[in-house]
Amino acid sequence: MNPSPMILVGARKVFFETFGCQMNVLDTELMIGALQVAGYEVTAHLDDADLIVYNTCSVRLQAENKVMSRLGQIRSLKAARPDLVIAVVGCMAQKDGAALKKSAPHVDLVVGPGEIDHLPSLVRRVESRSDESLVATEFKPVQFQRDVTLRPSRYQAYVSVIRGCDVYCTFCIVPYTRGREVSRRPEQITEEVRRLAEDGCREVTLLGQTVDHYGKEFRREGVHLGTLLESVSGIDGIERVRFVTSHPKYLSDDILRSVGDIEEVCEYLHMPVQSGSDRVLRSMRRRYDTGQYLERVARARELVPNVRIASDFIVGFPGETEEDFLKTADLMERVEFSQAFIFKYSPRPGTPAADMEDDVPLEEKKRRNQHLLKLQDRFQRKRNESMRGEVVEVLVEGVSRRDPAKWTGRTRGNEIVVFDRVEKNSSIEGSRVQLRIVDSTALTLFGEALS
């Protein structure tokens, strides 16, 4: 890496790299907007940056290792350019705080999720040398004046509706890094979506760690996720609405009826189960058993025709036996999820599970992980093959990155579809098109346009 001199004329430049979930993607978008108001422009090149921001995740060790690797790579850049400001923000910053600064002394700013809306002023303090370095990790309600024009996709947007989490699963760091559960006022959300629609957005995804628990503060007003879905769907210009992530305990019939009855709400549920063993679920403190989870699956399929259900799984949780693992595989066989995200357990310091004996060997975790991945591959191939000949509605997201001769988009059930660009110089990005499925793999459907 050959460092370039500081840019002294024109806008200052910021480089962002984001790790983790959709929440972090949205937080990065909001921080970019705030920094642009403060006079920054985004650069894709580290060497051009006056400010480097890593928006971090602590849910899994691998994400943290990537951040530490990045910080090691830019140590020489900071040495050559002392005025360069380096910021680590997000969940890893919240979890590690001053310890992160100690392990990477060239970092100027350590900023938790509750302070990210203050990033421009914190950067100014470092740049003015009023603070040689700052650690800002208080839990505060994040207040952004969102510039709706500043988003990666013109036709799609994430909207935060609930931040934090009150479930406190024993394996999860989120309540300790993002704080207690707080819902936004429904009128704030609908106003934000209205402004997004006026700027051309056609699909919004409502975000929350337990999004189906939205509105507990407003229950006396009759507010819950179902009423919010109805309000957002009624906004002119909004053609599709999604929401993630749902906790099985809170996915009520009222919410499922809203998904089934409201035309704009897509028939897709991300409802993590984590394990098929009741014993492991109790140890995880998930607040349901497999019978209750399967009842929610059955009810969803009854109330929402053609619903797609996705899930998360953790293998190798402390104390997970082979019998426990086989129960998880059996649950996957019974449900046949449309998607499954499968992870090997790694202890997260500060969580109750970190005090448990991590007694499943790594090689065994890898074996169980591969076993579930192969199961899911079989289910997805079977489902996708069954869709051949079906006509599906796809919202076109853009040109395929793998094949510029094709468009790519998603069905209402969140399946990826690619199809030929008949007229190379015309754009149908952001449009809904009808496609007949003609071929498939485990991960992708291939379609042909009906007109």
- Output the domain CATH number for residue 372: 3.30.750.200
77 within domain boundaries: yes
Q: Are residues 27 and 122 in the same domain?
A: yes
Q: Looking at residue 73, which CATH number applies to its domain?
A: 3.40.50.12160
What's the CA gap between 419 and 437, in Å, rounded?
9
Domain boundary among 72, 105, 136: 136
Q: Which residues contact 124 (CB under 8 A, 6 or more apart)?
A: 38
Q: pLDDT at position 250, please?
A: 98
Nearest to 90 by CA among 133, 121, 50, 59: 59
- Proportion of the chain in helix, strand, coil states, percent, rounded to 5: 40, 20, 40
Q: Which residue has the tokens 């006022």?
A: 185
18 within domain boundaries: yes
Three-state secondary structure along 112-162? CHHHHHHHHHHHHHHHCCCCCCEEECCCCCCCCCCCCCCCCCCCEEEEECE
At 254, give phi and psi (nearest 5°).
-60, -45
- By CB atoms closer than 10 A (0-12, 13-18, 19+), residue 279 is middle
142 within domain boundaries: no
Q: Are residues 132 and 213 in the same domain?
A: no
Element (H, E) at 340: strand 339-344
Q: Are residues 242 and 196 in the same domain?
A: yes
Nearest to 313 by CA among 275, 366, 287: 275
Q: Read off the tokens for 382.
A: 């079977």
Q: Are residues 358 and 375 in the same domain?
A: yes
The per-residue pLDDT string of the chain (451 residues; one tens digit each, 9 = 90 and over) reads 333 333 333 589 999 999 999 999 999 999 998 999 899 999 999 999 999 999 999 998 899 999 999 999 999 999 999 999 999 999 999 999 989 989 999 999 999 999 998 999 999 999 887 666 688 778 777 776 788 888 888 999 999 999 999 999 999 999 999 999 999 999 999 999 999 999 999 999 999 999 999 999 999 999 999 999 999 999 999 999 999 999 999 999 999 999 999 999 999 999 999 999 999 999 999 999 999 999 999 999 999 999 999 999 999 999 999 999 999 999 999 999 999 999 999 999 999 999 999 999 999 999 999 999 999 999 999 999 999 999 999 999 999 999 999 999 999 999 999 999 877 667 899 999 999 999 999 999 999 998 6
Structural domain boundaries enclosing 436: 391-449
Q: Is the peptide bond before 137 cis (omega within 30 degrees of 0)?
A: no
Q: Are residues 209 and 106 in the same domain?
A: no
Domain boundary among 386, 408, 433: 386
* Model pTM score: 0.91
- By CB atoms closer than 10 A (0-12, 13-18, 19+), residue 334 is exposed
DSSP symbol at 265 = B
Exposure of 336 in the CB half-sphere (CA atoms within 13 A): 9
Q: Helical H runs in 159-277?
A: 174-178, 186-198, 225-233, 253-261
Q: Looking at residue 158, which CATH number applies to its domain?
A: 3.30.750.210
Q: pLDDT at position 440, please?
A: 98
Q: pLDDT at position 132, please?
A: 63
- Strands in 109-111's sheet, in edge-to-edge order, are 40-42, 12-18, 51-56, 85-90, 109-111, 134-136
Q: Which residues contact 409 (CB under 8 A, 6 or more apart)?
A: 394, 395, 396, 397, 416, 417, 433
Q: Looking at residue 402, which CATH number applies to its domain?
A: 2.40.50
Q: Are residues 238 and 261 in the same domain?
A: yes
Q: pLDDT at position 239, please?
A: 98
122 within domain boundaries: yes
Torsion-angle region of 10 (φ positive above 0: left; ψ -120 to 50: alpha; else: beta): left
Domain boundary among 136, 161, 193: 136
206 within domain boundaries: yes
Q: pLDDT at position 151, please?
A: 83
Task: Tell me the chain's radius of gyration from C-alpha atoms.
Answer: 23
273 within domain boundaries: no
Q: Are residues 184 and 103 in the same domain?
A: no
At 227, give phi and psi (nearest 5°).
-70, -35
Q: Are residues 181 and 254 in the same domain?
A: yes
4 within domain boundaries: no
Q: Are 444 and 417 in contact (CB under 8 A)?
A: yes
DSSP symbol at 49 = -
Q: Are residues 409 and 358 in the same domain?
A: no
Q: What is the dihedral of CA 124, 127, 133, 137, to 10 degrees?
A: 20
Domain count, the chain: 4
Q: What is the dihedral of CA 257, 260, 264, 269, to 10 degrees?
A: 90
Q: Are residues 419 and 440 in the same domain?
A: yes
Q: Are residues 417 and 376 in the same domain?
A: no
Q: pLDDT at position 138, please?
A: 80
What's the CA gap between 101 and 89, in Å, rounded?
12
CB count within 10 Å of CB 80 equals: 13
Nearest to 383 by CA among 407, 411, 344, 351: 411
Q: Read off the tokens for 161.
A: 């509706």
CB count within 10 Å of CB 416 equals: 17
| Amino acid letter for position 62 | Q
278 within domain boundaries: no
Q: Are strands 416-420 and 391-399 parallel, antiparallel or unpaired?
A: unpaired
Q: Are residues 195 and 211 in the same domain?
A: yes
Q: pLDDT at position 412, please?
A: 98
